[in-house]
Amino acid sequence: MRRVSVSASAGQGRRRVATHDLGGDPVTPLRRTASIAGWLFIATFVTSIPAQLIFYAPVLGDANANYVTGAGADAHASVAMGALLEVLLIIANIGTAIVLFPILKRQNETLSLGYVAARIIESTFIAIGLLSLLAILTVREDVVGANVAFGRSLVAIHDWTFLLGPGWVVGVGNGLILGYLMYSSGLVPRGMTWLGLVGGPLIIISGTAVLFDVIEPASTAQVVATIPEFFWELSLGFYLIIKGFKPSPVTAGLEPPATAAPM
């Protein structure tokens, strides 16, 4: 929520309108950018978690291996909702990079482009995965003689893309690159950025371990390895919404001078 204060000068016949957040700070363009980025980070949680844990559940896992042959209740609406949420997730993922790029490039343009690229690559894997699950719906409804092996292959595509995208690339992009850019620029508390700087490598290591069959997907080891990254992205989102960017040389000169609006 925001509040608006108006001050007027009768002698000049002019007024100044200032929008403030709940903390009393003016909502400047830079503050608005931070807030948008924060909400986009929160949106990635709101969309990704229900999609994977709730809406895709009827077609994922060994217990649902026969779904493609027609066994079990129809989950078309559930999977379609999960796919819609992941489309919104893709928009939010790429949106975070686009919104933050003009700020982060003032610290390191090459790494900032790398962050944008990482978000696009991650989102590409997500898109391939959701398409494979939508294909299961088509095969179940329209393809005569579809077998369990074919259905499993489509689920496997989703599982591998989930590993390589949210389970590996995110460690490079959101963990290492974004963590370093935020640490070096001082745009957020440096102590908080260590969640990303530590969590990113843990995501990469655990994802690589799953890739080479050292640990099982979604095993305790992999889940534990995702905890720092999880809280890094979550805390970053809330911090940007509530506090915005900390004063930093990176943002120097970005705020336009306040102007008075005529009555």
For residues 154, 158, 164, 167, the Cα torsion angle rounded to the nearest 10 degrees is -150
| DSSP per position, 43-107 | HHHHHHHHIIIIISTTTSSGGGTTGGGT-SS--HHHHHHHHHHHHHHHHHHHHHHHHHHHHHTTT
- The distance of Cα 174 from the centroid of its chain, to the nearest Å, equals 8
The model's confidence at residue 257, banded by pLDDT at 50, 70 and 90, is low
Q: In this structure, how many other beta carbons lie within 10 angstroms of the beta carbon of residue 99?
A: 21
* Gap between the Cα atoms of 142 and 150, Å rounded: 14
**Residues 168-196: tens digit of each pLDDT:** 999 999 999 999 999 999 999 999 999 99
Residue 254: its pLDDT value, please?
Answer: 75
- The distance of Cα 239 from the centroid of its chain, to the nearest Å, equals 15
Read off the pLDDT of each residue in 80-95 and give the average, rounded to a whole number: 98
**Residues 114-163: tens digit of each pLDDT:** 999 999 999 999 999 999 999 988 888 776 566 778 888 999 999 999 99
**Residues 55-78: tens digit of each pLDDT:** 999 998 766 767 777 666 788 999
> Which domain range does residue 181 map to?
2-262
Output the six-digit token pair for 99. 């919104």
Q: How many domains does the chain have?
A: 1
* Gap between the Cα atoms of 114 and 219, Å rounded: 30
Q: What is the pTM of this model?
A: 0.86
Read off the pLDDT of each residue in 190-218 and give the average, rounded to a whole number: 97
Q: Are 192 and 179 contacting, i.e. CB atoms less than 8 angstroms apart?
A: no
**Residues 7-45: tens digit of each pLDDT:** 343 334 444 444 555 445 677 999 999 999 999 999 999
